[in-house]
Amino acid sequence: MTDFDYDFVVIGGGPAGRRAAIQASKLGKTVAIVDDQKKIGGVSVHTGTLPSKTIRESVLSVTGWRDQYFKSGRQRSGPDVTRDSISSRLSTTLGDEVEVIDSQLSRNNIETLKGRAKFAGPNKLSVSQSVQGKTTTYTVTAEKFLIAVGTKPYRPKHIPFNGSTIVDSDSIAANMPMPKSIVVVGGGVIGLEYATIFSTLEIPVTVVEARENILEFIDRDIIANFTHQLSERGISLRLGRSIKTIDVDKNGNPQVELDDGRQLRSEMLLFTAGRVGAVDKLGLEKIGIEPDSRGRLTVDPETLQTSQSHIYAAGDIIGFPALASTSMEQGRLAACHAFGHPIKSSEHSFPLGIYSIPEIASIGMSEDEARSKGMQVEIGIARFQETSRGHILGNCKGLLKCIFDLNDRKLLGVHIVGEGATELIHIGQAVLNLNGGIDYLSGTVFNFPTLAEAYKVAALDAYNRMPQTRLRA
Ligand SMILES: Cc1cc2nc3c(=O)[nH]c(=O)nc-3n(C[C@H](O)[C@H](O)[C@H](O)COP(=O)(O)OP(=O)(O)OC[C@H]3O[C@@H](n4cnc5c(N)ncnc54)[C@H](O)[C@@H]3O)c2cc1C
Ligand SMILES: NC(=O)c1ccc[n+]([C@@H]2O[C@H](COP(=O)([O-])OP(=O)(O)OC[C@H]3O[C@@H](n4cnc5c(N)ncnc54)[C@H](O)[C@@H]3O)[C@@H](O)[C@H]2O)c1
């Protein structure tokens, strides 16, 4: 048998890589993670999930957003106070997170190798690290590998990124700007999360989205409520519009020309039109693996093996759904398969959570999807204003929508917009995945006063409209 330095080497210290490494170590394997950043954690900890959610929480707190209903106006803090508050919260939150990760890895005897990994052969990586301008390179061998290198912002060549007035989401996470106005190009998840954060700071926001609708994977009633809330706040949505040119004027301010000839001017432009796999200089040609045009890798969805059976891939690099939550589970599945403990990937629906202001969350089928499959459905809707908790919070604009199968009374989908949506969705997730339905939700007792009570209100709403013959005696 060939001697390798490690049983398993993971490239990338994000959620997929870390979960895989810990799982392999629990199975008694020798494991190393190679990561090219100063601190472990990946996009999730340093430029993506955690920074954006921490900035959001900080902005909600500094603006008194959650209390606005009871106050005559919103709190106004100067940009310096806001920026200081964000940066101190970011430094504490991310610092704590890195400490926990470091401790988990060391408790599990996982070695962390700092540097950029590149395949030098089927079982060989070269790792290069630059310290004070001097690059050192060494070789590491392993029996099996996981590619969990994640993604980076898509930066087309014709966009004049300059790191100050024309930026991507990495720049925002590194240094939260306070522009006087902002244009966000790309009304996807990242664009809308940041657009609503800026708007909460009372910064005028215009979102340009090439498609006719935003977030097409979310139920349309939820999007109607969401876009209504955005327009009430003055966020301008330019849907079905693409960018003709983006330039900077003599003051360095972005100037956008849309395909209909309209001009948009602002102090800053955030470009969030998707992400691409971080596969450049990974030496994939040395191992016969070819990425697609967006740098993503194809794997067997059951085993997470690439075309080379000893090389696995997981996380954002394999594409949809590209979430921290699903990446972790993919990493675990890959490690279990690699070391003889295959587990079946869950057939259960997973939730989506969008941390815009207000939040959106969703699980299962949308109404359109169920109807397009020819299913007979009944819909139950609860507005947060129908719950006492909504009144106590002064936050009544939320909506919870349940979709039930009219024939077997089972829950098919839940869609929520409003405070707490990303937490509330897990009640729907449990009921849906355990095959529950309208009888459970309408007959169960929820704590009072809670927003969770909206599930009961929605279930009763649907129940009252169901044809009598289908109602249980
Ligand atoms: C702004 C933003 C907000 C987000 N919010 C959410 C959210 O709220 N909820 C959610 O579930 N998901 C969210 N995501 C998505 C989430 O961050 C990703 O799904 C997750 O980070 C993917 O994890 P990963 O393990 O694939 O790799 P990543 O977290 O991308 O980490 C990959 C690591 O590998 C390193 N690397 C790359 N190439 C090499 C190489 N050759 N050698 C060594 N190291 C290398 C990278 O530098 C990085 O450290 C968000 C993403 C962004 C950008
Ligand atoms: N809460 C969460 O779970 C969360 C939060 C942020 C990011 N993420 C992850 O990050 C990934 C990337 O997010 P994203 O928002 O960058 O990508 P995305 O693919 O979700 O959205 C990009 C949007 O930009 C639009 N677009 C593309 N080119 C355009 C152009 N030239 N002009 C105008 N619009 C254009 C697309 O139509 C699309 O709606 C997501 O798919 C998601 O997996 C998740």
* Token digits of residue 245: 């040119």
Reply yes or no on whether the pLDDT at 72 is more than 80: no
- Which residues span the domain enclosing 420? 352-470
What pLDDT sits at residue 396? 83
Atom of ligand 1 nearest to the CA of 118: 41
- Indicate if ligand 2 lies below 6 Å from the C-beta of 11: no
Relative to the alpha carbon of 49, which ligand is closest? 1
Mean pLDDT of the chain: 95
Q: Per residue in 406-446, pLDDT tens?
A: 999 999 999 999 999 999 999 999 999 999 999 999 999 99
What pLDDT sits at residue 77? 73
Reply yes or no on whether the pLDDT at 292 is more than 80: yes
Q: What is the domain-level CATH number for residue 165?
A: 3.50.50.60
Residue 347 domain flag? no
* Token digits of residue 140: 């590491």
pLDDT bracket for residue 1 (50, 70, 90)? low
Relative to the alpha carbon of 146, which ligand is closest? 1
pLDDT (mean) for 67-96 = 85
pLDDT (mean) for 280-296 = 96
Atom of ligand 1 nearest to the CA of 315: 26
If residue 244 lies in a helix (H) or strand (E), which one and from where to where? strand 243-248
What pLDDT sits at residue 472? 54
Ligand 2 pocket mutation pick from 157, 184, 190, 227 by most atoms within 8 angstroms of CB: 190
What pLDDT sits at residue 348? 87
In degrees, rounded to 5, the angle at the alpha carbon of residue 189 between the alpha carbons of residues 184 and 190 is 50
Domain boundary among 273, 308, 323: 273
pLDDT (mean) for 239-248 = 95
Tally of domains in the chain:
3
- Indicate if ligand 2 lies below 6 Å from the C-beta of 359: no
Query: What pairing do the DSSP bridges indicate for beta strands 151-153 and 134-147?
Result: unpaired
- Indicate if ligand 1 lies below 6 Å from the C-beta of 34: yes
Distance CA(140)–CA(381), nearest Å, equals 57
Relative to the alpha carbon of 356, which ligand is closest? 2
**Region at 215 (left for phi over 0; alpha for psi -120 to 50; beta for the rest):** left
pTM for the whole structure: 0.96
Are 26 and 74 members of one domain?
yes
- The SS3 call for residue 318 is helix
Residue 45 domain flag? yes
Higher-pLDDT residue of 349 and 207 is 207
- Indicate if ligand 1 lies below 6 Å from the C-beta of 277: no
Are 108 and 204 members of one domain?
no
- Indicate if ligand 1 lies below 6 Å from the C-beta of 279: no
Listed in sequence order, the DSSP H helices in 308-360 are: 324-338
Are 201 and 245 members of one domain?
yes
pLDDT (mean) for 336-353 = 91
CA of 215 to the centre of ligand 2 (A): 9
In total, the chain counts a number of residues equal to 473
Q: Per residue in 166-179, pLDDT tens?
A: 999 999 999 999 99
Residue 345 domain flag? no
Query: What pairing do the DSSP bridges indicate for beta strands 263-265 and 268-271?
Result: unpaired
Are 387 and 286 members of one domain?
no
DSSP category for residue 346: P
What pLDDT sits at residue 245? 95
Are 292 and 239 members of one domain?
no
What pLDDT sits at residue 473? 43
Question: What residue owns the CA closest to ligand 2's atom 38?
Answer: 188
Are 280 and 269 members of one domain?
no
What pLDDT sits at residue 420? 96
Are 92 and 210 members of one domain?
no
